[in-house]
A = this chain, B = another copy of it.
C-alpha cells in the first residue's frame, strides 16, 4: 500500500532528478566563456566591455539551474 514513506521517497528521488537540468547552464555558460576568451584575444582593449556582456549573459543562463535548485530544496525540506 502506498503510504507517507512512498511520498517522501518519491520527493527525494524527484529532487535528484531535478538537478539534471544543471547540465544545460553548464554547457551554455561554457560556450559563452569560450567566445569571451576569443573576443578578448582579438581585441584585448575591449576586455572590460566583453567581460561585462559575458557575465550578464552567463547570469541569465544561470536562472534555470537556480529554478531546479529551488524545486529540489522544496522537495527535500517541505515534502520529504
Counting every copy of the chain, the complex holds 3
Task: List A residues 27-75 near B (Cβ within 8 Å).
Answer: 27-47, 49-69, 71-75
Q: Is the CB of B26 within 8 A of A65?
A: yes
Q: How far is the CA of A45 from the CA of B5 in the complex (A)?
A: 60
Q: How far is the CA of A28 from the CA of B26 in the complex (A)?
A: 6
Given the complex, which residues of B lie within 8 Å of A56, measured CB to CB?
A: 33, 36, 51, 54-55
Kindly name the residue among A7, A66, A69, A73 whose own CB sees the greatest number of chain B CB atoms within 10 A.
Answer: A7
Q: Which of B2, B18, B28, B63 contacts A2 (CB 8 A)?
A: B2
Q: Report A's interface with B, CB cutoff 8 A.
A: 1-47, 49-69, 71-76, 78-80
